[in-house]
Amino acid sequence: MYSTSHKHGTRPTRTKATNLASSQAVDPNSDTPTVRQRIAEARRSGLLDLRSLNLTSIPPEACKLQNATHVLLGSNNIRTIPVDLHKMFPNLEALDLSSNRLSSIPPGLAMLDDLEILDLEGNPDLSENLPPAFGPLEDRVAIITGSFPPAALSDDSRLPQEVQAFFWRLEHLDTAGLDSIFRRRLAQRDSNLVWFLTRRYGAPVQEAPKKSRGREASNQNLDVEESDNEDSHMDDDDSDDSGDDSHVDQSIAARKEMKLQTEYARKDKERNVSGRVQAGRKTKAIRNHLHQPDDY
């Protein structure tokens, strides 16, 4: 039903307006401290890792990263991809959309001239027969679809397991030559490629390195004690002023929320640093094993 009493004409009823607002609601997981921190890191590095964050869509702020070259969006609950994604990330070289709920992908991705890896593995509703626009890309882009065993590794023991998992998938593609292309990339010390493969196929970093756990726990306990002391002092100072009780409660809640977000950001930064250190070590190991010009 529609009401015609409004001077500007018909307008939706309360129920219809509420449903419309709900359908346009923003994903609450797209604006968490972790997401904001990783987007901030990507503004400087061009490397965006938003895996395993329970996202249902690409965060709006992430869509503004036109400098992004390697983007990981796997292991989320994303159902649709913007049709103009190729315009949002015009310099994209590697895109991970694995383990989502995609049923289709926009043909515009085929317009990315620098694209080298398109990972669509683990989307059961997505057909392995991609749109015709992707046909010309098969000779230069590793397009990974379907599903593979988690422990599938190549027989090249010189490589870390994360990189072996990628080459095992390349071996099952119908396109010849991609294996040697990516081996040359690794031999040329491509740290961005190593970062992408490590984040995609490696175990996610859940906490800071062991050496810093004791110090982190100690600092966290001190922060909690200081917060409790400050809150108790504030309560004592304002106990006689009953008119400001609500204001004090709001101030305490705001300070606790600020401390919590700061702690989230600090921990996520430590995880990012740890991940970069691990990627650097893997790059060095690969460099020692694969930087052999006579092999190519």
**Residue 249 burial (CB count, 10 A):** 13
User: Is 59 in a helix, a strand, or coil?
Assistant: coil
CATH topology of domain 32-206+286-295: 3.80.10
* Residue 146 three-state SS: coil
Domain boundaries, the chain: 32-206+286-295
pTM of the complete model: 0.65
Per-residue confidence in pLDDT tens, the chain, 296 aa: 444 444 455 554 444 444 433 444 568 888 999 999 999 999 999 999 999 999 999 999 999 999 999 999 999 999 999 999 999 999 999 999 999 999 999 999 999 999 999 999 999 999 888 889 998 888 899 999 988 887 778 777 788 888 989 999 988 887 778 988 999 999 998 999 999 999 999 876 443 344 444 444 445 454 544 445 555 544 444 444 444 455 455 556 666 666 666 776 677 777 777 777 777 777 777 767 665 555 44
Considering only CA atoms, give the Rg of the chain: 25
Residue with the two structure tokens 């046909």: 135
| Cα–Cα nearest to 35, from 12, 15, 14, 54 | 54
CA dist., res. 13 & res. 3, Å (int): 7
